[in-house]
Amino acid sequence: MLKTAVMVSGGGTNLQAIIDAVSEGRIKGVQIVRVISNKKDAYALQRAAKAGIGSTVVSREDHPDRREFDEALLKALDDSGADLIVLAGFLVVLPAEVTRRYAGRIINIHPSLIPSFCGEGFYGLKVHEEALKRGVKVTGATVHFVDEGCDTGPIILQRAVSVEKGDTPEILQRRVMEQAEWKILPEAIELIAENRVVLKDGRAEIV
């Protein structure tokens, strides 16, 4: 059983996609053991509670000192007993100690086709605003391993989504979520649970 901790900061629609995939049997051999949020009011926490999944909040309000916050985050992960950590709309840069200790066992969903529209400051709606500003005809989502950088780890899965005439950032975000994020994140977790993702020469390959 692949014990999975999901880290969230907001609405938790990607968390919900994982919960639904597990409960509907579309992903086998995966158990969400903990939901960890940096925001007390994240709706994702209500989604976890409804699904009977325990959660932990590690917020800067409770840990104003960054080093203490980082230690609390690491402790929450260690206490969860997770084999895999999934960043699902988690908006805090992980401490180096976490990316080191869990190297090769942390994945993230990013709402663009990396290497486009990613890196510092590219998260949530901003990603789609920039895609529309650039006039791209295709965008999408990426699941990648997390390393010390920002959106720089090996790419596991990507899915393309068309940009339509009249799209606003909100409409495009919703389409990318529905057609890409909510599909490839559960799929990536299942591939990892089946040991079908291998790292070779710094790239992730599906076997």
Catalytic (active-site) positions: 110
Min. distance of Cβ 140 from ligand GRF in angstroms?
11
Is the omega angle on the peptide bond into residue 154 within 30 degrees of 0, that is, cis?
no
Token pair in block for residue 125? 């709606």
Contact 89, 14 (CB under 8 A): yes
The total of other beta-carbon atoms located within 10 Å of residue 61's CB is 10
Contact 41, 57 (CB under 8 A): no
Token pair in block for residue 141? 């989502």
| 1 burial via Cβ count (<10 Å: 0-12, 13-18, 19+) | exposed
Nearer to ligand GRF, 136 or 194 (CB): 136
Min. distance of Cβ 171 from ligand GRF in angstroms?
13
- Closest residue to ligand GRF, judged by C-beta, is 89
Nearer to ligand GRF, 99 or 173 (CB): 173
Residues of the shown chain interacting with ligand GRF in the complex, contacts defined by CB under 6 A: 8, 10-15, 44, 88-89, 109, 111, 124, 173, 177, 181
Contact 48, 54 (CB under 8 A): yes
Min. distance of Cβ 89 from ligand GRF in angstroms?
3
Q: In angstroms, how far is CA 90 from the centroid of its own chain?
A: 7
Min. distance of Cβ 41 from ligand GRF in angstroms?
13
| 117 burial via Cβ count (<10 Å: 0-12, 13-18, 19+) | buried
Nearer to ligand GRF, 181 or 187 (CB): 181
